[in-house]
């Protein structure tokens, strides 16, 4: 689906990858509704835009873990721009770098609610409208951690693995419709997700072998390029592409490799 002239909703749009996805869409001529819980971040983003971009940009402050708030979102976007052509489910958080045995249930539920259920709420709210469009698109952001377990991020990984399988099932269900589905697996990325998650994260650079981080600007360009080609799966970053191949060929070896590389991050 070419995004020029289309209307898209981006969750987690106030900063990080969501902000860059919104910017990339605006640069390509799309109308964008950026959704975030952080109103200050949305307002700051709006002020950075040109006057022309502001005319194609709208913000909504929504707690995506509240189903009723999400259900009200389609009508708000339709009143501002018209019929929605696509959604990008980007909002997500990580967990503190601790083992499952040391992770409290409140945190576990929070990770699952934001990472998994918010995407379900968005899809359930918007899909009836997307099915009526000549062409539309659903983009679900999973993670490299959604197909490869990372010690200290097991619940985060479980939430992203749920996104993976749900997206694949959704693709199968919609294969004969006008709704395209893309699931995205970003690798390590230089965003402020840890701060936004309220998670204390050790110094990755010093403790995990100088992991090379992909910039959110580069990631967003690759994601939107993939969407415009109606790609089913997108592996973003060399680490994600490499580990995907390795995990399919030798899963036990891949898990051990990651475990050894990341063990310094565990509390």
Tens of pLDDT, residue by residue over 209-235, are 456 789 999 999 999 999 999 999 999
Question: For the chain, how are helix, strand and coil distributed in percent, rounded to 5?
Answer: 55, 15, 30
Mean pLDDT of the chain: 93
Tens of pLDDT, residue by residue over 127-168, are 999 999 999 999 999 999 999 999 999 999 999 999 999 999
pTM, full prediction = 0.92
β-strands 136-141, 86-89 pairing: parallel
CA neighbor of 192 nearest in space, from 65, 41, 48: 41
Q: Which fold has domain 7-265?
A: Rossmann fold (3.40.50)
| CA 182/CA 3 separation, integer angstroms | 14
User: In sequence order, which residues have a C-beta less than 8 Å from that of residue 242 and are 6 or more positions away?
Assistant: none
Domain ranges of the chain: 7-265
């Amino acid at each position: 689906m070419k995004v020029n002239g289309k209307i898209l909703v981006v969750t987690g749009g106030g900063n990080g990858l969501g902000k860059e996805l919104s910017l990339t869409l605006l640069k390509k001529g799309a109308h964008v509704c950026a959704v975030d819980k952080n109103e200050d971040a949305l307002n700051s983003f709006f002020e950075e835009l040109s006057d022309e971009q502001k005319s194609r940009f709208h913000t909504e402050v929504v707690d995506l873990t509240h189903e009723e708030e999400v259900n009200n979102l389609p009508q708000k976007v339709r009143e501002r721009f018209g019929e929605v052509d696509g959604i990008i489910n980007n909002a997500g958080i990580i967990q503190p770098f601790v083992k499952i045995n040391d992770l409290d249930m409140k945190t576990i539920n929070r990770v699952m609610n934001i990472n998994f259920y918010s995407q379900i709420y968005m899809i359930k709210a918007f899909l009836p409208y997307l099915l009526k469009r000549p062409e539309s698109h659903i983009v679900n952001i999973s993670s490299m951690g959604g197909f490869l377990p990372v010690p200290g991020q097991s619940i985060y990984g479980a939430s992203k693995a749920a996104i993976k399988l749900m997206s694949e099932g959704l693709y199968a269900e919609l294969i004969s419709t006008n709704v395209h589905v893309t699931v995205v697996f970003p690798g390590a990325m230089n965003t402020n997700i840890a701060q936004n998650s309220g998670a204390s994260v050790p110094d990755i650079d010093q403790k995990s072998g100088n992991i090379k981080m992909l910039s959110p600007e580069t990631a967003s360009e690759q994601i939107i390029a993939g969407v415009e080609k109606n790609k089913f799966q997108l592996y973003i970053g060399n680490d994600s592409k490499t580990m995907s191949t390795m995990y399919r060929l030798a899963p036990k070896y891949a898990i051990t490799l990651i475990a050894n590389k990341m063990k310094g991050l565990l509390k």
